[in-house]
Structures are given as C-alpha cells and as structure tokens.
Chains A and B, each alone.
Chain A
Amino acid sequence: MTVNPVAFYVIAVLVVATAIAVVAVPNIIHAAVALIACFFMVAALYLAIGADFLAATQLLIYAGAIPVLIIFAVMLTRGSMRREGNSWVRWWPLALLVTMGLGAVLLGVFAVSHDRWHRGTYPQRLLDDGTTRTIGDALLNRYALPFEVASALLLVALVGAVLLARRDESEAVLERSEEERRQREERVRHRREERDRARRARLRDGVSTPDEST
C-alpha cells in the first residue's frame, strides 16, 4: 500500500486553505466553520495514509465535538451576530516568529528524513490486525502508564473546571448578604447626601425654614 500523491496533495492544499480561512475571516462563527472543515480535511488525510481508526476518531472528537464547544462559548459570550473582530492583533510579529520556528522544525524533519516519508512501509502486524487493534494494544499495554497519566490529567482539569464554574453554596449566601449590606449602606448614604444638598440649597436661597435636625 502506498499513499496516492494526487490524493495527498489535493487534501493537503485543502487543509492549508481552510486553516488560513480560520485566521483570515473576520466573522468568528465563519472562522469556527472553517475550523470544522479543516479538521474534516485532516481526517481525510489520515484516511489517505491508511489510519482509519485515527480518521474516525479525528472526525468524532475534533470535527464533531470541539468546535461545538467553541461555537457554544462564542454564543454565550458575544452579543450580536454582526460583530466582527479584527484579525490583526498587536502581537502578530510574535505569532509570525513562533510559526516560523515551527515551520523550521517541520522542514528540518523533512530534510533529515530525505525521501523516506513517502516510501514508508506498514509493519506486517498493522496490516494483519488493523489499526484499531494495534492502537488499542499499544495504549493499554506498552504505553499504559502515559495513557493513564494523561487521563488523570484530564480528570483533574475536569474537576478544576467544575470547581471554577460552580460557586460554593455558603460562599454564594455570604456574597448575597454582603451585597445586600452594601446596597443598604449605599441607600442610607444617598439619602443623607440628598438631605444635605437640599439644606444647603435652602440656606443659599435664603429661605428660612426650621432646621430638619432640630
């Protein structure tokens, strides 16, 4: 099995084009849609190199689940659907630098590998067992520890997110009473100032009225 170069280049061009669209389009929802298309194309790339399990997982997680969360976040934080952001931020030279560094690393790998990258052969075991079995075997036997550590990390992140999002009940009650006390003080102060202002105005106008405090 070899990778078809035509299929590879067509898909690769589409991946890059959609990726550029993600950062270039001004409307953030359009950018999210371009991101979905980009992930979809990456899945196609995986399929082209015979990684079918990876392709399906890419579709399920990256094309199917992550952008939903992104769009959700946009919906809940931005007001109008017409608002369009500016794609050129102040720090774009820094971003350019980082991107160029990453590009240099990739090109370095490309140079070191000579032309092995498209002449690679699949190990016999992979062809016999299929990608699903091979990946599952690797994750649960050989790389069991890193796999479990990664899942523990995700669990910690999950618990942390819940902790941040959900305020403690007693804390909420305290905050509410604090807020009420502040409002009450505000009202009292406001009333006092009002009264003082009125008294000063009357004194200035020379209207003689009995002092309220007496």
Chain B
Amino acid sequence: MIADLAHFSIGPDYWWVVLIKGVIVLGFLATAAAYLTLAERKVSAHIQLRIGPNRVGPFGLLQPAADAVKLLFKENTAPAGRDKLLFWLAPALMAGAAILAYAVIPLSGTTNVNGYALHWNMAHVNVALLYVLAITALGVYAIFLGGWAANNKYSLLGALRSSAQLISYEMAVAFALIGVVILAHSLDLEEIVNAQQHAWFIVMQPLAGLLYFVGALAETNRLPFDLPEAETELIAGYHTEYSSMRFGFYFLGEYVNMVTVCSLATALFLGGWLPLIPWIHSDWLGGLVGVMWFLGKASILLFLMMWIRWTLPRLRYDRLMNLGWKVLLPLGLLNIVITGSVVAARAAS
C-alpha cells in the first residue's frame, strides 16, 4: 500500500531501504540535537571567556548523556487546571513536526549502487521545498496549543507572541525562497542543488539568502527573536509548565528545527553537497563525501546561529513585527520582481 501510494509522488523505493534511512536520520537528528546543546554551552562559554562543561567525560563530551538521564528521571509535573489531551499532545507534535521536516532534505546527490538509484534522503518528493515549509508551519500549533493547555498566563502570552511572530516571518521566508525557485525551475531540493553547479545561489541571490537566514532565526525562536520565551519577562513562555521528558521534547524539537533550517539554507544557498574541491560523484563513496560537505556547510551556519545568539540582545516586540512586515516582506517582494525581470529578459534575448 505504501509503495503504491509512494509510486507517483515519492518515487519507487524498497520499503526496507526507506526504513533503514529513517532509522539513520532519526538517530542522526537525536544525536545532533543532543550535541548541539553541548556545542551551544561551549560556544557561549568561550564567548563569555569561560570554559563551559568540562567535567563529564573528556572535554565534557558525555554531558548530553548526563542531561538526557537527568531529564528522564525528573518528576513529570503537570498543572491541575491543564487541558489534559492537548497538554499531552503538544510536545509530541513539536518533536514530530521537526523530525518529519527532515525527511526530504537531500544530504547528497543521487548515486548509483549496482544499478539502484540511491537517494540520500528518506523520501524523494518533487515538491520538497513546499513540504518542508508546510511541515515546519505545523510546529506553530505545538507551541500555541502547549502554551494554552498549560493554563498559565505566562505560557499563554508566550504562545500568543510566538504564533504572531511565526505567521509574520513565515511569509517573509516564503517570499525569499521564491527567487531561488525561479532560478532553479523546480521545487525539488535535489534539482535546486544541481542547479547550483556553476554558482551557488548565495552569489546569485544574496538578498534572498540574507532574508531567509533572518527569517529562519525568527522561525526557530532564536535570539534576537526569542520573544516567545523571553526568560526575563515570561519565565520561558510556552513551556513554563513543562518538565521532565515533555520539556525534553520541546527542547529536542527546537534543536532539530535549527538543524533543519540550517540544512535547508545549505541546500538552497550554499550548494548543498557540491564540493569546493572537485570530486566525481559516482559511487556510494562519492555520495558519502557529499554528505560530509553538506554537514560541514550546515555546521558553519549552526555556529553562526549560536554566535548571533550570544552576541545580540533581544528585539522589542513592536520592532520585531516592524522588521517582519515592513522590512523583510517588501525586500522579499523586491527580490521576486528583480529575479523575475532578469530571468524574463534573459529568456527574451
């Protein structure tokens, strides 16, 4: 049934190949999220002239494991006035939406293994870009319903802020990406990367790249756009009432979202798996090297996000809204007009 369903839109594939890929992606995302928390603490420490975690394991490398154990064994508290169903559902939705989005991101170009076309993503969808935008949009509900279900005024305020922010910046991000789609003639992420053989899209679409990155910071609730959490005013906002593994799911979702937006930015603007030093992509080894390039580029973006978080202060709420609607959105429209005109002029000549 699944194979039949997948035939038209996802492309034929063996179910066990998809299963293995799924397990690998899930393991990769969980590990990446865990170690990003360590990386964040290390980076923040060095920015603030401290050392950071260095007691658990060599260089503090086992810290994420210790944190996970701590989260698992903490008491799972829940406020009495909560909405039982949604309080339980929201954290799962957060982690689920974040992980689902990663299913279509191609980590490397399609390689030929003994006559079998191996795609380096879980599902080869030809509207992958739209799919990622749609699934990450569902993450809004996790924050919103979680904040509401907790029946706490700070949570509700955080949830309201967050949904307003996410709606505003979703538009800006979508408009920024249209320029890339116009140049690549496709919504398929693999084809978008392949269209960057001669020049990365950050060169041809610098404005779109910048807009996307700023929008991505806002979409992942990172500083300077972390208004939904804003410890000093909202006491962590939407997840104030969550503890133990329920909080862990929000945490996981947030860091997986970071990995997703950075991976998407890599595929869209930094040439994905395309190497700086030429390497022939033919066998699975070439594919693996491609994965290395991809993850390397994504890591640089992740570091950039951390760098920004520990450098810039938080924006005021009205300025955040002004930036989204009065700066990013018009610039995105301008980018579409310019890109469209240039493409049309080239086609005419």
Contact = CB atoms under 8 A, between A and B. Distances in A.
Contact of A56 (B85, B130, B167): B130
Contacts of A20: none
A75 B162 CA distance: 13
Contacts, number: 88
B8 interface: yes
B151 A81 contact: yes
Interface in B98-147: 125-127, 130-131, 133-135, 137-138, 140-141, 144-145
B86 A47 contact: no
Contacts of B127: 52-53, 55-56, 131-132
Nearest to A10: B1
A57 B130 CA distance: 7
Q: DSSP majority for the A interface? A: helix
Q: DSSP majority for the B interface? A: helix
A71 B9 contact: no
A68 B167 contact: yes
Given A4-B4, A29-B86, A60 B9 contact: no
B130 A53 contact: yes
A81 B134 contact: no
A59 B8 contact: no
Contacts of A57: 130, 134
A132 B140 contact: no
A108 to B, nearest CB: 29
Contacts of A91: none
B148 A7 contact: no
A59 B144 contact: no
A42 interface: no
Contacts of B140: 64, 68
A23 interface: no
Contact of A68 (B85, B135, B163): B163
A41 interface: no
Contact of B86 (A33, A50, A52, A75): A33
Contacts of B126: 52, 130, 132
Nearest to A74: B148
Contact of B134 (A33, A63, A130, A131): A63
Interface string A34-66: 001000000000011010110111011001110
Contact of A71 (B8, B133, B138, B144): B144
Contacts of A4: 1, 4-5
Which of A29, A60, A130 gathers most chain B CB within 10 Å? A60
A30 interface: yes
B160 interface: yes
Contacts of B4: 2, 4, 7
Interface string A125-160: 000001110000000000000000000000000000
A31 to B, nearest CB: 12
Given A36-B141, A60-B130, A60-B133, A48 B5 contact: yes
B333 interface: no
Given A4-B4, A68-B163, A29 B134 contact: no
Nearest to A76: B160
A1 interface: yes
B70 interface: no
Contacts of A30: 85-86
Kindly list the 3 A-B residue pairs having the minimum CB-CB distance in the complex, ordered from nearest: A64-B137, A59-B134, A56-B130
6 contacts: A7-B4, A29-B145, A52-B125, A65-B167, A67-B141, A68-B163
Given A52-B127, A68-B140, A75-B160, 18 more contacts: A1-B7, A2-B4, A7-B4, A7-B5, A29-B145, A29-B148, A33-B141, A36-B141, A52-B125, A60-B134, A63-B137, A64-B140, A68-B163, A71-B145, A72-B163, A75-B148, A130-B126, A131-B127
